[in-house]
Structure 1
Amino acid sequence: MDNVAHIFLSRVFISFVLFLISLARTQNILVFQPSRVTATGPTITALLLGDTSDIALNLRTVSPSNTTGHISSPLCESDVTQWVLTTEQLGKNAVRVQLKLERNLRLCGENETDTDCCSKALCVLETLQVSACVSGTPQASLLIQAKIYALLLPENAGTDNKTVIPNQVYQPMGSCPCDLTFRACDVRCCCDKDCSIEDLKLFVSHCLPGPFGGRVSPTPDYHCSVQSSENSPDWFPFLCVNSPRENNPYLGLFYQGKKITSKPGPSFQSPVLSAPLPVSAYIQGSPILSLSDQYFTIPQKVLGHCVNSAPVAFLKNVQVECVTELRSCPTGFPLWTTTSDLSSKVKNGQGGDLEVDVIDEVAIDMSLFMSSTDATSDEGLVCENVTLALDYKFYWKGNGITNITLTRIVGAITLNTSVTLTTRYSAVFLNGELMGEPNSGNPGYQVGRPVIAGTLDLLDNNTGSVQRMPINVWKPVSDGLCSTAEMKPVLFGENSTSGCLLPVSRQNLTQCDLLREAVTALQAALVKATYVAKSGNPNPLTMTDWLNISFVTLNSSTTMEDTTSSCRGVPSHQHIHVRSRITGMVQGIPQKDISVLQVSFTLSSWTLDCGGGDISPCMNPLETKLFPITSSVTFTDIPINTGPPKTRFQVNFTEYDCNRNDVCWPELAFPMTTYYTGEPYSQSLAKGLILVFFFITASILGTPWRQIRQAWT
């Protein structure tokens, strides 16, 4: 609601300004908006609306009359002030007027001789008048009341010196814990000795509360040293507490028991990233180092933007595409590279080093890297040996790297005007010849991680290895068409529905078999895998870690009753149903595995609808209409133990169910039931029986029972 109100008020203000502009234009008058300003800072901005072609602005200092208290009429005269007046033309009928204070707002020191400072806290207190004149006649005026206070800036601002706080194990919080800056006044720290009286007046009503602000809680009333003879209770001083003042609950409040020292790391401001201390072996995620103890970098994407040098992490695969608008031949990395620069030496993580082996390839099809039509022209500037792709392969074993190969793809680009170039960069880690794929759990799947799937690849020794391949759903981008749509992997535990649009003409609807085959091919591209991993860390060589994906085949025996401009049985929707269950616990965390993955299709009828006045698809056989192709994924948990089904009495009768009823009769005698866990059940039962005994005894010996006995007699 706050955003809606803010947008509404903004629109009202814009409409009001436009109204004033139109009013000033029609009546040919000048007006300041706003006409009165109260300034608390060194910059003032206002708008002058109307016919601003021949105006002249004058600034002077004014004061109210001693008799009437009113400001004198505007004059076309200028005074020497401490303000600078600037203007900016926003259009034919609007001028932005800005005043900027030309003086230092720093508060002067005690013995300071510099005049460019404020002698007191209220630094500027004056009234200004800006007059808009045409031919020496004032047409509009702006009245400004300036009331500006001095800024409190420490003399040693920017230093890293800090007050040394004593050891909190032996002293209660120190005398002033909020005094953090050495020889400077800390805002809202009223116990800071560096704060002057003028400083304290600015925030004396907003001091930091509690022990951190130096206000340790007063001694409690039960302390023997606090009570006096005037307000002492009857039990004092027999039950007062006598303990030293140093023994208070705030002793060592911020003490953590150890000292944490900062470690130097790479800085974002330094041109060269400084590498950490060299390690003897690589672990997953640690940066790969060059021989000069610098990060080994390749172009990568950071926060959605491509950077030319980003560190490569051990066992972390990278695959990015960078788009560059090329207007001239490149002269630097990464579009222009040399073999000597790429053949750098890298530490192998085992005490040695190895050199990157560079393999050059020439791109044949340049359309894979360029999207500009002008680039195919034979006329223009030709750029030779432009680097189009850098594909690194890191071969690893254990905690070290055994070999690094780089495939560099180069090509010639003809520049006519400009070229949109798409370059590709990748880094994959191979254990032998197998790519080190990231897992999705250990061992159970983690929510939000991709579902692992693949296809079976038979090896030479009649054994099988599963090559990973993702299970995807549609990811529409740009115009939402299936021709430009991308795919996104299915994430465990996250249901989703997405799709794209397929343009279909009346001519396509006359060839229903081809249309159904085309839609089936589009849907089949989403799920090419035939096996799915049970757990989040499967072994590609162990087939017991994988399950067959169940595909619900389409019923081809059913007769398709196709008509003119209508096709039935189009598999327009693909549904992926994943059933998972909890198979165990690891450190109290349930581990989920996939039990069944089923892929099914929903058939629909596609018919041209020429209603609503749009009859072009039915008249023109090549006119297309958009039909949706969708995909969805659903995750279902299989209960661990369902138990026998409940009877109708158990389902409907909730009078004695404390979880589904506001009145819980079984807890009427709560202390004597098993629901009470404040003490052992035997003790609570014994105490409850004693209370019942006293209640019965009081009833027998009391007045009601005596009256009943007398009436009976």
Structure 2
Amino acid sequence: MASTDRIDFLKFTLRPALCILLFMSSVHTGNTVVFQPSYLSTSGPNVSALLVGNLTDISLSVRTVSASNTTGSVDPLSCVAEITQWVLTKEQVGKDAVQFQLSLNRSLHLCGENETETDCCPKPLCVLETLQVSACVGATPLASLLIQAKIHAVLVPANAASDNTSVIPNQVYQPLGACPCDLTLGVCDVRCCCDKDCSAADLKLFTSNCLPGPFGGQVSTDPDYQCSVQSAENSPDWFPFLCVNSPPENNPYLGLFYQGHVIPPKPGQSFQKPALPAPVPVISYIQGSPIFTSTDQLFTIPQTVLGQCVNNAPVAFLNNFEVSCLTLLRFCPTEPPLQTQLEDLRVQVMNGQGGDVTVDVIDEVAVDLSEFISRRDAVSSLDKSLVCENVTLALDYKFYWKENGITSITVTRTVGSIALNKSVTLATRYSAEFLNGYPGDPNSGNPGYQVGRPVIAGIMDILGNDTGSIQRTSISLWKPVSDGLCSVVETKPVLYGLNSTSGCLLHVGQQNLSQCDFLRETVASLQSALVTATYVAKSGNPDPLMLTDWVNISYMMPNSSTAMEDSPGVCHGIPSHQQIHVWSRITGIMDGIPQKEILSLQVSFSLSSWALDCGGGDVPACMDQMETQLFSITSSVTFIDIPINTGLPKTRFQINFTEYDCSRNDICWPELAFPITKYYTGEPYSQSLAKGLILVFFFITASILGTPWKQIRQAWK
């Protein structure tokens, strides 16, 4: 018997039996008739029910009813039939049972915009009504059935297929589903137990005859090493430790189902280096992502990788670095990175926001080569045999960024002339620094200062309409180079949170010491050139138009009244040391990071007396007007953190009273009774107290029963 014939046979065999059971379960006498069930709710165009009882001269009528607005009850029973959009059909299924069916006599497709056909649904909710089916004998109603119909329109796709066959895509590029036997869309396929269109009643008909193996969506027989296969009787001793847990969905045979051609692998060597695909440019930069040029190539700068210098190392966004590469020169370089051209450095870089930025090149010529060449490799003017001109000694990049993009790039190229005799060890410098904002306007935090970022200072710039704007500047320290003389010294910005002291050397002779006022003014002008600002920014991203984002810088100028009177060869009151004190504190926490803010900045000077060192009374050396000596001019910055909760200050008694402070005193009286006091933490306090009392009891007992007390008792007697 075929599968379809078996299904039809089962349907026609089970339906009368079901009706007989319903009939036997109903309790009726005489002319009593009932609907089974007495209330229905449908969301489809077909609904069926049973009428059980004495069906002699019984007629069925259908009408539409509505609920009363006052009582909430439906209309009373009536045997008057109405014209509805439903068609009533009935079928005798037993002597005392009738099965009837209501079918919707209209289309359920949704009306189009310009559609003139009336047999369509104007709204997605197409049918919403209550039907009443009445069983009547003549004009007398005996029973009724209420049917709540709530039917939505059928949405048909515009490119619907002409038949109901499932369309399987090309399986070379898309894997097949987990149910290969589901061949018909919207219809239950016989013996396909994994078909989602099969209801529970359909599956009961062929559950025992499902298509086996992967063709029917069933996982093939599990191997012996599966943990779910072995039982306790036949499991080997290694099984609990070496069995494999694998879900049933991991079926290797599902990959055999595809349509299309097989793509054979290309033969190649086993250890052949795979060809890496070209990097795909990112749409927007994030921290750590590589930077690309406008030609979709990686932007590279020489860097150190695993201790070795690599000339073409990619630059990562927001990752600062500074490296020094050693190169042994035996002849003049002709290729990058030691010999660069301006056209090669002016590269167009993708800014991460759909545009490009061009690298701006700034050239500097290094006069002093001691930073790049050691003194033992330096060649004198008499030994010069070969001079390499315009050698690139340093490339210092500055990347200015905003949000996820790059706003500008500048590179400072330092070149110089290298004299070669045999060979020279050249130390070249390469660096990259990412600054937030635009060129000339970098921030040092958002909003709190970040350690290692420059302290932002400013000068008031009066604009029109009596409005003022703060023009940014910096607070600097000495940055000695070469021999450290003040005439060639450079400056470096003060970095937040980093204490520093630096200085330079000034040639002073007897002639200078005879003009002390001019000497004091010269040193004071050198020191004042380090701090020219009048305001300092509270946060790392101040607004130049908001004066509340800035605080005044306080200057503690030396008191001229306390200066000593100058004597021949000795100048007093020289402001040789400049001290910068910065007070800051934590004002809040943002995303778990403490935000630090500058509260005050003070600049003060320390005075000293300068005189030539005659070296043990060498008077002629001090009297020589051309003889000079080196005097140091220093500057320092100190950052002071103010705690958030300082509390009440300690009194003099609390500070000096250390008799009972065991952490500041060698003798600690509270530890005299060590096992009993709280200072003993070797065991719980209750146990130590009990043991201590027992020791005290034994000590007292031994003292009473010992020799001293025995002699006292004898003398007493």
TM-score above 0.5, yes or no: no
TM-score (norm. length: structure 1): 0.44
TM-score (norm. length: structure 2): 0.44
